[in-house]
Structure 1
Amino acid sequence: MTAFKLRATCAALACTFVLVLSAQAMAGHHEQGPAKQAIVLAAFGTSYPEALDSILNIKAKVEKAYPDTPVRLAFTSNIVRKIWQERQNDAQWQKANPDIPAEVLHVKHPLATIADLQNDGYRNVTVQSLHVFAGEEFHDLITLVGGLRSIRTLKPRHAPFTRLALGRPALGMPGEAHPYTEDIAAGAKALKADVDQAKKMDAALVYMGHGNDFFSTGIYSEMQHAMQETYGYPVFIGCVEGYPDFDAMLAALKASGKKKVLLKPFMIVAGDHASNDMAGDEDDAWKVMLTKAGFKVTTELRGLGSLDAWADLYVNHLKELQAR
């Protein structure tokens, strides 16, 4: 994507974000007492039971920060939700996986989750994105929240919400409300333990991000630069889809002079992509391709959400939004 298209995309997102968050919804003076509050955590999701801990770790931290507020999970991925919906009627699968929380087994789209809360009397709802950056899934989330906020009733007191707000992803988003470069800096600091681990191994730190084939993923390059500037150490980020791809990452990795690689997912969960595209045994898995390129590779299947420092990024974004 050209710089012009990137700026245009960012500007469009920024404008949408302002529309979502700037104007306060109809005030509660039409009602008796304050509106009931609730929080929705909107994640891409995962179908891997062993990868759920990353999302549940973030949820636990949010619940600790807001002990008196209901916190609900929602998955934005249609494919992931369909898998969980099929498991709802699979008694054999449930018997083999008895530790799956009911809220995950019956997880819904953010739209349905928000609607359920509104139906139960919650009219002050905050949706906190659990995405890494403002990509395709977050763009659609902005559109969803903006559409719900545009609802106007003949009598203001009948409006479905007194307030409906959306919190930015971990690495921020375009716009003047909060400089995204500050979020990138905070994200880099949250990953200090990964750099320390790589240093002890004398290995380059390589992350696999998801990316997108038709949505700018330049944020990964900015994050890589921030990591290198912060720690003065070879850190590289490549994407399954879009830029920087594996070849671009490999060229930079070779130039670093390192012979060992610590390979981790740059995703909230260590699910399908991490298990197969990154750490799998097929010829196109990153572990295999890096090994063939002459590197000694150590993989770690750990989602970003399992790191307390990364989970705190979402808690902090939520607190900033609630304070407005």
Structure 2
Amino acid sequence: MTFVRNAVFLLLALLLAVPAQAGHHDEGPAKQAVVLAAFGTSYPEAVKSILNIKAKVEQANPGVPVRLAFTSNIIRKIWQERQNDAAWKKAHADIPEEVLYVKHPLATIADLQNDGYRDITVQSLHVFAGEEFHDLITLVGSLRSIRTLKPRHAPFVRLALGRPALGMPGEAHPYTEDLATAAKTLKADVDRARKMDAALVYMGHGNDYFSTGIYSEFQKVMRETYDYPIYIGCVEGFPAFSDMAVALKHSGKKNILLKPFMIVAGDHASNDMAGDEDDSWKVQLTKAGYKVTPDLTGLGMLDAWAELYVAHVKDAMAPRPGVK
């Protein structure tokens, strides 16, 4: 099954590697823009994680407009309902319009193209190449396949896609190198856990319909990098909380530093991870005899993690043969 999944990714990667129709040679360079496609969050406070990444991408690309898009249909619907809620908007006046009126990546790309931007880089803000990124790949690949009778009328001169934080299958940018780079960004978490004499436990989102083995592989990289008891479990898919909890027993630690391995510390982090209900990770681990210290800080708030996406945008924007 993993072979089939990787084969599909490689096929789509090849499709994305083929340049979009070049514009007419007299038109000059196409206007550039960047779309940051995140899963999204409905938590106003958690939005800061996404905005921090956006700020870093803007700083690295002066003069290039950077737009946000949310891939989650459920999250976008929540924001759409808030658009007409005067009381909510008054109570959350600090929420920028780009979040309140956030759109699907398709609509965001279309708006930019309609405004004359034909060299667009779509950067995934997902953690790994899972279901949401798969759908993003098919979306971008479909748009890039558009052909017109006259090449100069093609909607895009270039439409590129940047890989998630933990990479994707392919040889251009080996995902194992992305794992190693991502591990280095989390040194502060490990240092803090050491001072607490605590096991470092991360909650990932995961997926019930897509292989999530990358979490276990990243856990291995983290342990090898820091020689410390580090564990990753998922809300959905493997490794589940139960898988993580069994392994945790062998850590020899009585304290736990519990953090979200997600871009934002939204609903899952606030409730499933650090909530007071009986099924939250904090409560279950406390009942198991551990002293648990939750930390509601999304990965996007870490400047070093945000810079991963800056680097991936740069890679995706790199010139390719045959493209102006």
1:274 aligns with 2:269: yes
Structure 2 counterpart of 1:37, from 32, 38, 57:
32
Aligned to 2:260: 265
Aligned to 1:17: 13
Contact 1:204 1:258 in 2 (8 A): yes
CA apart distance, 1:9:
0.6
Cα separation, 2, equivalents of 1:250 and 1:127: 37
Aligned to 2:41: 46
Aligned to 1:288: 283
Structure 2 counterpart of 1:248, from 240, 243, 266:
243
SS of corresponding position for 2:28: coil
Cα separation, 2, equivalents of 1:38 and 1:114: 9
CA deviation string 1:3-59 (max 9, x = no partner) = xx1122122112212211x11222233442111110000000000000011000000
Aligned to 2:171: 176
Residues paired across the two proteins, number: 319
Structure 1 counterpart of 2:80, from 78, 82, 85:
85
Contact 1:203 1:261 in 2 (8 A): yes
Residue type at the aligned position of 1:292: K
Structure 2 counterpart of 1:149, from 144, 149, 152:
144
Aligned 1:1-324 pairs, distance under 5 A: 5-20=1-16, 22-324=17-319
Q: Which runs of 5+ in 2 are unaligned?
A: 320-324
CA deviation string 1:259-281 (max 9, x = no partner) = 00000000000000000000000
Residue type at the aligned position of 2:259: K
Contact 2:201 2:257 in 1 (8 A): yes
Cα separation, 1, equivalents of 2:244 and 2:73: 30
Residue type at the aligned position of 2:180: A
SS of corresponding position for 2:285: helix
Cα separation, 2, equivalents of 1:143 and 1:288: 40
Cα separation, 2, equivalents of 1:157 and 1:32: 9
What is the TM-score with the length of structure 1 in the denominator?
0.97
SS of corresponding position for 1:193: helix
CA apart distance, 1:321:
1.7
Indicate the RMSD between aligned Cα atoms, in angstroms. Answer: 0.8
SS of corresponding position for 2:45: helix
Contact 1:30 1:156 in 2 (8 A): no
Cα separation, 2, equivalents of 1:175 and 1:323: 17
What is the TM-score with the length of structure 2 in the denominator?
0.97
CA apart distance, 1:205:
0.2
Residue type at the aligned position of 2:12: T
Between 1:211-220 and 1:314-323, the stretch displaced more is 314-323
Cα separation, 2, equivalents of 1:78 and 1:321: 25
**Percent identity of paired positions between Structure 1 and Structure 2:** 76
SS of corresponding position for 2:118: strand
Contact 1:31 1:157 in 2 (8 A): no
Cα separation, 2, equivalents of 1:67 and 1:186: 25
SS of corresponding position for 2:286: helix
Contact 1:208 1:278 in 2 (8 A): yes
CA apart distance, 1:244:
0.2
Cα separation, 1, equivalents of 2:56 and 2:318: 18
CA deviation string 1:40-79 (max 9, x = no partner) = 0000000000001100000000000001100000000000
Cα separation, 2, equivalents of 1:194 and 1:46: 23
Cα separation, 1, equivalents of 2:282 and 2:114: 48
